[in-house]
Structure 1
Amino acid sequence: MSERAPAGIDVHTPNVARIYDYMLGGKDNFAADREAAEQILKSFPESREGVQLNREFLGNAVRYLADEAGIRQFIDVGAGLPTQRNVHEVAHSVDKTARTVYVDNDPIVCVHGRALLANTPTVAMVEADLRDPDTLWAKVADTTLIDFEEPVALLMVAVLHFLEDPYDDVARLRDKLPPGSHMVITHMSMQEKRSSDTDSVREVYSRASSGVYPRTVSDIRRFFGPYDVLTPDHFISPHILSRFAPLGWAAVAKRPA
């Protein structure tokens, strides 16, 4: 992305989506985003690998859901900037008819996403906020891509740790899903032995477009409610999972029939 941004883009305040893009090796970021990312890397040098492992987990989970679980519709909340191995691309590698709705609350992200996805009829991008789940649900329904009588995969990947108290909002979305649906969550975890480093990351994000709220694994698991958490064997190897553990926790869960 050129340092001369289109009108309406604040290039001086670090943006969560653009920091993530930089960590992935993307080009849709500015100097403020890169500076913030480098400060995070000083506290957590493994952050860049963690972001890449997070993306790998997402791809593996979507491939499993499309191939093994037979899911043909995906809602990706907090999708961020389109990058490599997007959800719809992975799903289409299994079935070209799979439908994906991307959701983000950043209007600039949504404009960019719509431009990149304009020629893909099975994909839509809507501007909505997880903190207003009923409006989000209505906007997703307006795309007409999602049949809520059939199982859906609801993805909230690397987004919930940017919200201070999203439990009730997640529960409203979770409870709307039909039986056989799945949830995918990845989340920054809280490690007591890295508390000073975590505080440094919090300080960086406090100057960005969103704060950050790491949680314990047990608190992250609460987001799944009554859903059955699946073993991670289908999504990530034990070796990679152990490398990801200092930074976060990830899981896929299924709504019982």
Structure 2
Amino acid sequence: MSDSEFEHGTKPHTARCYDYFLGGKTNYAVDREAALQALKANPHAMVAARQNRGFMHRASRFVARETGIDQFLDIGTGIPTEPNLHQVVQSVNPRARVVYSDNDPIVLAHARALMNSTPEGDTAYVEADVRDPDRILEYARKTLDLSRPVALSAVALFHFIPEEDDPYGLMRRLTAPLAPGSALVFSHAAIDLDDGQMAALAEQYSKSVTPTRLATRQGTADFFEGMDLLPPGIVPTSEWHAAQAPDETPHDPGPVTPAEAGVWAGVALKP
């Protein structure tokens, strides 16, 4: 599929499908059709997307408030749906600096228009693929001081990276240069939270949108190798600090079961 096909809405696109699930308006009929097919495969797909977004909000706010980290690197940004990560963390610390990275020209076009920083902070964007960690980190250094702690956010991204691209190796290459005290905010679609509905969703998504793979709880934990998981550990997105930090995602569906959430999530610090 060419970029032109994506840009003109003749092929469904992951970022636009996710935007649809979140209640956004940056999507085409072909994306809505793919999303509806995904919902037929797994009726909880929209709930899962919104719970995942809620986890990103809570985890980012927690990191900014509780760890004092004021630098954030968000990879696999997707189409901006407010509140975006920089809005969340800059509401806690207006001086926070945020670098977004995505490999998609569609995302880039929207990001440049919508991602405005506070006057005290800074927000930047790099068009780069997660499979090129060196480019991402090289660009991030223009805005972030990597000798100080950075919060790396990779939310609902790595389940789109096939095994042959070594997703675990890519994560190690991203976290290795980060300073002690850095954080990883991470989520991954789960294969072991329901009776097969996420597997059906992954199969449908792989056919109509993009190849998608799932992970077990242990497989998700392996992405945190060399880091110290913070309580409550690896849990469904709906359960990560939900009681202590209520969700602020628009149209939040409220309490859901682990099977409905369908995604593992965790936050860890680098020793």
TM over 0.5: yes
Structure 2 counterpart SS, 1:214? coil
Gaps of 5+ in 1: 1-5
Contact 1:184 1:252 in 2 (8 A): yes
After superposing on structure 2, the runs of 4+ consecutive aligned residues of structure 1 that deviate more than 6 Å are none
CA RMSD between the two structures: 2.3
- Which of 240, 253, 256 pairs up with 2:268? 253
Contact 2:39 2:45 in 1 (8 A): yes
Q: 1:22 aligns to what?
A: 20
- Which of 57, 60, 72 pairs up with 2:58? 60
Give the number of equivalent residue pairs. Answer: 248
Q: CA distance change for structure 1 residues 123 and 214 in 2, over 3 Å: closer, same or farther?
A: same
Structure 2 counterpart SS, 1:123? strand
Q: 2:179 aligns to what?
A: 178
CA distance in 2, matches of 1:153, 1:170: 13
Report deviation, 1:117: 2.4
> Which stretch has the larger CA shift, 228-237 or 97-106?
228-237
CA distance in 2, matches of 1:190, 1:168: 21
Partner deviation per Cα, 1:174-213 (whole Å, 9 max, x = no partner): 11111000001111001386336614532333332x2100
Partner deviation per Cα, 1:84-142 (whole Å, 9 max, x = no partner): 2211001111111101111001012112101222566610111011111111211222x
Amino acid at match of 1:79: T
Q: CA distance change for structure 1 residues 20 and 192 in 2, over 3 Å: closer, same or farther?
A: closer
Q: 2:189 aligns to what?
A: 188
CA distance in 2, matches of 1:245, 1:214: 15
Q: 2:251 aligns to what?
A: none
Report deviation, 1:8: 7.2
Report deviation, 1:54: 0.9
Report deviation, 1:218: 0.6
Partner deviation per Cα, 1:6-35 (whole Å, 9 max, x = no partner): 997141211000010000000000011101
- Which of 142, 163, 174 pairs up with 2:161? 163
Q: 1:225 aligns to what?
A: 225
Contact 1:189 1:249 in 2 (8 A): yes
CA distance in 2, matches of 1:72, 1:237: 24
Structure 2 counterpart SS, 1:251? strand
Q: 2:235 aligns to what?
A: none
Aligned ranges 1:105-120 → 2 under 5 Å: 105-117=103-115
Contact 2:76 2:101 in 1 (8 A): yes
Contact 2:12 2:34 in 1 (8 A): yes
Contact 2:71 2:151 in 1 (8 A): yes
Q: 2:91 aligns to what?
A: 93
- Which of 63, 69, 72 pairs up with 1:74? 72
Amino acid at match of 2:190: S
- Which of 241, 247, 252 pairs up with 1:235? 241
Contact 1:72 1:152 in 2 (8 A): yes
Q: 2:133 aligns to what?
A: 133
CA distance in 1, matches of 2:58, 2:194: 30
Gaps of 5+ in 2: 233-238, 245-253
Amino acid at match of 1:139: Y
Q: CA distance change for structure 1 residues 79 and 8 in 2, over 3 Å: closer, same or farther?
A: closer
